Chain A
Amino acid sequence: MDISYTILIPLIPLAVFLLLGIFNQKIKPTISGYIGVAGLSTSAALSFYTAYQYFFVHGKVDGAYQAIIQKVTWLNFTDTLHIDMGVLIDPISIMMLIVVSIVSLMVHIYSRGYMKGDEGYTRFFAYLSLFSFSMFGLVLATNLFQIYIFWELVGVSSFLLIGYYYTKPSAVSAAKKAFIVTRFADLGFLIGILIIGYYTGTFDFETLNSVNSETGELTLNWASTSFMGLSVITWALILMFIGGAGKSAMFPLHIWLPDAMEGPTPVSALIHAATMVVAGVYLVARLFPMFYFVEDGYALNIVAYVGAFSSLFAAIIAITQTDIKRVLAFSTMSQIGYMMLALGVSKYEGHDGLGYMASMFHLFTHAMFKALLFLGAGSIIHAVHSNYLKDMGGLRKYMPITNITFLIAALAIAGFPLTSGFFSKDEILVAAFESNKLLYFSGVLVAGLTAFYIFRLYFGIFWGKETNYKHAPHESPISMTLPLMVLALISLVGGFIPFSKYVSADRVGFEAHLNYPLAAVAVSVGLIGIGLAWVFYKKENNLASKFANSFGAFYKWTYHKFYIDEVYLFVTKKIIFNLIAAPIAWFDKKVVDATMEGIGNKTVVISKKIKGMQSGKVQDYAFSFIAGVVILAMVFIYLWTN
């Protein structure tokens, strides 16, 4: 199967970015919107074509999906170690292509309505295209270095888009925060890559991940070198997971995600809900055989526990937040924790690889319904001009389409039966149940909390108190509601895709079945959550605040996100700044700079003093010259004659 045309999938958005970026001022906003949508549609069409060709025509050889790779050598270090550029097509990269292209296309269409009349309209579309390019490049990467390059590129696009309203100080600082925190995590990623390159001599995913079919073990010899009781490869994997955790907002590197909500809402939907933040999950999935086989999945256990903890942590915080976008941000973090958890409990072969498949499935469904939630929130914010729950209420009468689509998304994320979230969540819980009961219970608890906070949001926005609006809110234009409807449709029926046939850890595929008892548990927990939200928030009452008061300090802690931000600030400002940065700055200013400046200053002073020697008269110079010659002549004569 010739896949060279897939290179166009990232390159078209890049071309659009260059076009819109270079001719920023010359292009009329309406036209730039159309250019962006057209470029992305082409990429999306190519993605779908590739998916069709791969899954139904060419991909399967001997009962298993093969990875198809085309690459060129880009940097040649030694005969064995070189960095390639290319495209890698396998089930998960195809799945990500589909996710990215659907969500990105919907966000492009939506932004045409949402950003209408904004000054930086063309710039916005240019950045969106840059992001799409980077994300497509990331999912198609064939080796660790290529993924790292695009990893940074999505980081840059995220930075640019969070700081899109660059006149707002809060947006600027949020952009900086996001960039610095993820950059800090990427340091781990880079060190991990270098360790892998040094000890294995390759960056290629296929070489690293290849599993010996006879012994059922990794062909890579990971046990040769160890460091502090663990294989160096395990260390490398842990470091790379730190990079992934930074990008995917896992505890304790999650602090940038809530602040990233300063960006325009379509950006939050695209980058901070559906695509970029799942890059960490994608990375772990991409290296899954390594994570699973090296040292019996030591690193994978860390992934599972970090994921489980983050999901619980974020779900608790999400309950108390009042900014609707922040609730969704914590919800995203929680759901990504779910995916990490699923990957962490997964095994490799056949049906045992359920967790892997469930994680990818949840990635897919979550991308759809979370993008839908964000776009719905954008539509609401567009109508109400506020992010806060207190300014909303009773909106169902004004915005019927947003109401229904938001409800569908909320049902999907709560795991209501037959919506897409129900299937993926059920499989995650089954996988957790089979592997680790503690993680399973945390997962069930999170399912309940998720249902509660999302319906708190839903009821708070569309039902609840009757707010007197200054301007009556109205439904958004068709360019905004159309993406909502498309995504709602996918959120409704996406669960019926036989995902396990196409995506599985060993790429063979298997039949997944609903586990009815576990599904019943999850659904009933979800329903309890919805019911509680119904009681508290459906009608205006003070039950919720009474309830919150009974928690007292814990509620306050949660409301302040467990003071993680303050802890970071304390560590950075008080400890690192005062104890390390300030002395270094002093040394730099007083010693290094002062030395160099002193030399310069002294030279100036001395020059001023002795400049009188320069009379400007040729005769004086000639006199000195001749006197010198005479003296030299005398010296030489004296030396020669003796």
Chain B
Amino acid sequence: MIAGISIYEILTVTSILFFIGIYGFITRKNLISILMSVELILNASVINFVIINKYLYPDILQGVFFSIFIIAVAAAETALAIAIIINLYRQISSVEVKDTEIMKY
């Protein structure tokens, strides 16, 4: 429990964070920004895991463990995404989304 802060306020913050991530994912033109937006989405859900664990089931730690998993996976995923972006940059000298349409139809 965090004194003076209810679960609703925290969930509101994470929801805002989540939708900022969604918005960024859809609207950003730069692959790096999109990647950062994805990180925001992930972080929002990680916070949700921790908070729900803390407030609703204080005796167990599964939510916390799970959040650690997600962070590890997210790190790996980010590394992969960065690798792809770097390779893409070598190919087309750009990290703009509009330049990566060659797989259209």
What 1/0 mask marks residues of chain B from 7 to 50 whose CB sits below 8 Å from any chain A CB?
Answer: 00000000000000010011110000010000000000000000
B3 interface hit (Cβ, 8 Å): no
Cβ-defined contact, A622 with B26, below 8 A: yes
Which residues does chain B contribute within 8 Å of A617, judged by CB atoms? 97-98, 100-101
Residue on A with the closest CB to B31?
Answer: A618
Interface-facing stretch out of A65-73, A259-267, A417-425, A608-616: A608-616
Residue on A with the closest CB to B28?
Answer: A619
Which residues does chain B contribute within 8 Å of A626, judged by CB atoms? 22, 26
Q: What is the distance, in angstroms, from B62's C-beta to the closest C-beta of chain A?
A: 26
Most A C-beta atoms less than 10 A away, residue of B34, B101, B105: B105
In angstroms, Cα B105 to Cα A617, docked, is: 11
B90 interface hit (Cβ, 8 Å): no
Residue on B with the closest CB to A612?
Answer: B105
Which residues does chain A contribute within 8 Å of B34, judged by CB atoms? 618-619
Cβ-defined contact, A611 with B26, below 8 A: no
Cβ-defined contact, B103 with A623, below 8 A: no
Cβ-defined contact, A614 with B25, below 8 A: no
Which residues does chain B contribute within 8 Å of A619, judged by CB atoms? 25-28, 34, 97
Kindly count the residue-residue contacts between A and B in the assembled complex, taking CB atoms under 8 Å apart: 28
Cβ-defined contact, B25 with A622, below 8 A: yes
What 1/0 mask marks residues of chain A from 593 to 628 whose CB sits below 8 Å from any chain B CB?
Answer: 000000000000000000100111111001100100
Contact pick for B105, options A614, A618, A622, A623, CB 8 Å: A614
Which residues does chain A contribute within 8 Å of B100, judged by CB atoms? 616-617
Contact pick for B97, options A611, A618, A623, CB 8 Å: A618
In angstroms, Cα B100 to Cα A619, docked, is: 11
Which residues does chain B contribute within 8 Å of A618, judged by CB atoms? 34, 97
In angstroms, Cα B39 to Cα A199, docked, is: 82
In angstroms, Cα B15 to Cα A509, docked, is: 109
Which residues does chain B contribute within 8 Å of A622, judged by CB atoms? 25-26
What 1/0 mask marks residues of chain B from 80 to 105 whose CB sits below 8 Å from any chain A CB?
Answer: 00000000000000000110111111
| Chain A interface, number of residues (Cβ within 8 angstroms) | 10
Cβ-defined contact, A611 with B25, below 8 A: no
Residue on A with the closest CB to B102?
Answer: A616
In angstroms, Cα B104 to Cα A615, docked, is: 6
Q: What is the distance, in angstroms, from B53's C-beta to the closest C-beta of chain A?
A: 24
Q: What is the distance, in angstroms, from B31's C-beta to the closest C-beta of chain A?
A: 9
- Could you tell me which residues of chain A, from 200 to 252, have a CB within 8 Å of some CB in chain B? none
Which residues does chain A contribute within 8 Å of B28, judged by CB atoms? 619
- Could you tell me which residues of chain A, from 348 to 381, have a CB within 8 Å of some CB in chain B? none
Q: What is the distance, in angstroms, from A192's C-beta to the closest C-beta of chain B?
A: 61
Residue on A with the closest CB to B25?
Answer: A622
Contact pick for A623, options B26, B98, B101, B102, CB 8 Å: B26
Which residues does chain B contribute within 8 Å of A623, judged by CB atoms? 26
Which residues does chain A contribute within 8 Å of B97, judged by CB atoms? 617-619
Q: What is the distance, in angstroms, from B38's C-beta to the closest C-beta of chain A?
A: 10
Which residues does chain A contribute within 8 Å of B25, judged by CB atoms? 619, 622
Q: What is the distance, in angstroms, from B90's C-beta to the closest C-beta of chain A?
A: 20
In angstroms, Cα B104 to Cα A611, docked, is: 9
Which residues does chain A contribute within 8 Å of B98, judged by CB atoms? 617
Q: List 15 A-B contacts (CB under 8 A).
A: A614-B104, A614-B105, A615-B101, A616-B100, A616-B103, A617-B98, A617-B100, A618-B34, A618-B97, A619-B25, A619-B26, A619-B28, A619-B97, A623-B26, A626-B22
Give residues in B with beta carbon < 8 Å to A.
22, 25-28, 34, 97-98, 100-105
Q: Which 7 A-B pairs have the closest CB atoms?
A: A616-B104, A616-B101, A623-B26, A611-B105, A619-B26, A614-B105, A616-B103
Q: A617-B101, A623-B26 are in contact. List 6 more A-B contacts (CB 8 A).
A: A614-B104, A614-B105, A616-B101, A616-B103, A617-B97, A619-B25
